[in-house]
Amino acid sequence: MDPHHRTRGVGPRAGPLPLHRRPPRADRPRLRPRPRLPRPASTQLPAPSFPMRVMEIPMHTWRSTTSLLELAHWLRDCRRIVVLTHQKPDGDAVGSTLALVRALNLSSPFGPTPRAEAWYAGPFPPWLDDVRGQTPVMRLGDKATPPDHIDPEAVVILDTGSWTQLEPFADWIRKRLDTTAIVDHHVQGDADVAQLRVIDTTAAAACQPVADLCRHILGLPSLAKLPPDIATPLYLGLATDTGWFRHSNVTKSVMTTAGELIEAGAENVRLYQIVEQRESPGRLRLLARALASLELVPLDNNGQHIAVMSLSNRDFADAGAEPG
């Protein structure tokens, strides 16, 4: 048999069948295949499974080992996430954790039940409930420990990487090191707290990298597109860690981020009223005692002085105020 032919089969049409197709008819031109459009940039990277690719960095070096985008991909598919921060949370700690929890719950593919919550160890700022709203939060009381039966798929630590500042959670974290990540802006930390780290020491507050993490999680093109209830706590952290934009850590990047958050709907005026304009009578009486104790101590022979004020435990008791 001719090797260039194959058999058609059996029946009246049996016989050799040429391997080569007939040329198309002139009156029926062949259609060109539709070109494949590139995927959006946000979906070009495959969602990595944990553990993600970790940069080759010495184990105890306080540097980034992954990126915000990779971290966002990992968190998207986690069903339960706990977000932690340092003991005695400040504005940056509260703002970054609330924003991330809200972004994770808003983007959850598992239905309306919240999949993320923030855990705090006190003492707590007096304005916490005013900015928390309905965000899922668990507070640890004095000498309380996290419930060991809660075993989330991911633990994210924000605004710290220090075992000392994480003391109430330390034993609980050590049992979950393989599913723990850190996003921080401080120049020092304990690298063994988490293998996955995003450390941005150029940021004035943890809320700066966390803002971009929220943007990646929600798939948004800019911070100005963030929902207002996510932009507001991010602005809180940025404002409080810069002394309401008066400290030396204020940069062009800080002001650009703040502007985008305000454009997104951050309630900057309300935040200032909640955090800075709610002095209790006890604190005002304590301030009066502190000012009354002021002494000017010579610093050098050029007329420079430093102001020294002191408060005792008795002052706190008499003023009806509490330390913290």
Share of the chain above pLDDT 90, in %: 72
Average pLDDT (210-224) is 98
Residues 285 and 248 in one domain: no
Residues 212 and 65 in one domain: yes
Note down the domain range covering 167: 44-276
Residues 260 and 313 in one domain: no
Residues 115 and 249 in one domain: yes
Q: Are 157 and 180 in contact (CB under 8 A)?
A: yes
Residues 242 and 289 in one domain: no
Tokens of 124: 């707590």
Residues 86 and 99 in one domain: yes
**Whole-prediction pTM:** 0.77
Burial annotation 169-188 (CB, 10 A radius, 16+ → b, else e) = beebbeebeebbbbbbbbee
Is 33 part of any domain?
A: no
CATH of the domain at 219: 3.90.1640.10
Is 114 part of any domain?
A: yes
pLDDT bin (cut points 50, 70, 90) of residue 303 is confident
The four Cα atoms 310, 314, 315, 321 give a dihedral, to 10 degrees, of 120
HSE toward the beta carbon, residue 298, CA cutoff 13 A: 4
Residues 217 and 100 in one domain: yes
Residues 73 and 153 in one domain: yes
pLDDT in tens, 106-138: 999 999 999 999 999 989 999 999 999 999 999
Domain count, the chain: 2
Residues 87 and 209 in one domain: yes
Residues 312 and 246 in one domain: no
Task: Say which range, 22-36, 170-184, 274-288, 297-311, has the weakest mean pLDDT.
Answer: 22-36
Helix (H, G, I), strand (E, B) or coil at 156: strand
What pLDDT is stored for residue 300 in this prediction? Answer: 83
